[in-house]
Amino acid sequence: MAGQGTIAHELIRQHPGKIDAIFVAVGGGGLIAGIAGFMKAVKPETKIIGVEPDDAACFYEARKAGRRVVLKEVGIFADGVAVKQVGKNTFSMIKDLVDDVILVSTDQICAAIKDTYEDTRAICEPAGALSLAGMKKYVETHGLEGETYVAINCGANMNFDRLRHVSERAELGEEREALLAVEIPERPGSFKRLCQLIGHRSITEFNYRYSDATVARVFAGVQLSHGIDEKNKLIARLQAKGYKVVDMTGNEVAKLHTRYMIGGHPGSSVSNEHLYRFQFPEKPGALLDFLMKVGNRWNISLFHYRNHGSNFGRILMGFQVDRGDLRAFNAFLKSLKIPYWEETDNEAYQLFLR
């Protein structure tokens, strides 16, 4: 505790002016105990606010109970603070010195990792991003401005392979992306009409596989500019047009698993399917423009698209085309004037999607 308290000493040497609050990640409690002990002795007016993941909130629960408690299980995404019980000595010190505790989600932690990278080009581990995630939530919750806050970035245990997961979840944590399950009629033109209702918002993800001749269920990601209010208005707009919509943005199973598993074998009902891969310049509205060119002539039986932040969008698409219509269909593909490749004989398609 004393050793980690020297962080607070360094902080007030580097910033001798007013500090309204310091946000500190909490695991066993040693870091926040050292910082709180020093700051409350030197600058008692500075608030000390602990931050924990909402699935590893050992200090939050202990503070609420007035005694140390043992969590039955803890989330491991922020493994640097994945602690079932706050320390005995640290708790006896911080229970009276810490002013508040903020709980944040995995998505909010990922958003904070992204914020840190965009500001400093440094990549912090999930436990290190906790403090910034808590600070952002605290400011938003209380509507604060004009104050001076410090977020302590601790730890260096970022696994490179974890970055893919962080990237996927950061936009959700910033409330810049909504994940929606939408039921649409199974007929040509349905994709296009849905995209027209979504408008010129950037579509981050589109997954679909033919299942029967009546309805289709689409898993879609939509980029948001105005957070939850915009998402709710979009859902209301789709529902007003008769679409069944389920908000998947907060569904852990959907975010971790289902979005990657949508597909399967459609059975003998799609015997005339042809699979193609497309590449087109990525910009807002690009997917809608593409679907407008596709039109209503051929039924879309498979669709997968995910925005990866690159200059080009990539789509995997299945069309139902009768043998006698192939010449016209090939002429249509050439008229699109974008790169495309036929993948009907691709082994991955034949094994898992055909």
Q: Domains in the chain, start-ordered, CATH in brackets?
A: 2-173 (3.40.50.1100), 177-352 (3.40.1020.10)
**Which pLDDT score, from 0 to 100, does residue 309 have?**
62
Angle between helices 30-42 and 2-14 (to 10 degrees): 50
Strand order of the β-sheet with 203-209 is 244-247, 177-185, 215-223, 203-209, 299-306, 312-320, 273-281, 340-342
Residue the block writes with tokens 């007035």: 66
**Which pLDDT score, from 0 to 100, does residue 217 have?**
80
Of 105, 145, 147, nearest to 129 (Cα)?
105
Residue 237 exposed, middle or buried by CB count within 10 Å (0-12, 13-18, 19+): middle
Of 271, 267, 263, nearest to 303 (Cα)?
263
Of 315, 294, 301, nearest to 268 (Cα)?
301
**Which pLDDT score, from 0 to 100, does residue 351 have?**
67
| 3-class state of residue 127 by DSSP | helix
The helix (run of H) or strand (run of E) holding residue 16 is none
The answer to whether residues 254 and 248 touch, using CB atoms and an 8 Å cutoff, is: yes
State both tokens at 14.
């580097």
* Alpha-carbon span 144 to 108, nearest angstrom: 18
Q: Mean pLDDT per 10-residue run, the chain (354 residues)?
A: 94 94 96 96 96 96 95 88 94 95 95 93 92 96 93 82 80 87 83 83 79 79 88 93 89 74 66 85 73 77 73 82 91 88 84 69
Of 160, 156, 169, nearest to 128 (Cα)?
156
**Which pLDDT score, from 0 to 100, does residue 117 have?**
92
Beta strands in 54-174 (DSSP E): 100-104, 149-151
Give Cβ neighbours of residue 120 (< 8 Å, ≥ 6 apart): none
State both tokens at 280.
């087109």
Angle between helices 106-120 and 163-173 (to 10 degrees): 100
The answer to whether residues 321 and 272 touch, using CB atoms and an 8 Å cutoff, is: yes
Beta strands in the chain (DSSP E): 21-25, 47-53, 100-104, 149-151, 177-185, 203-209, 215-223, 244-247, 273-281, 299-306, 312-320, 340-342
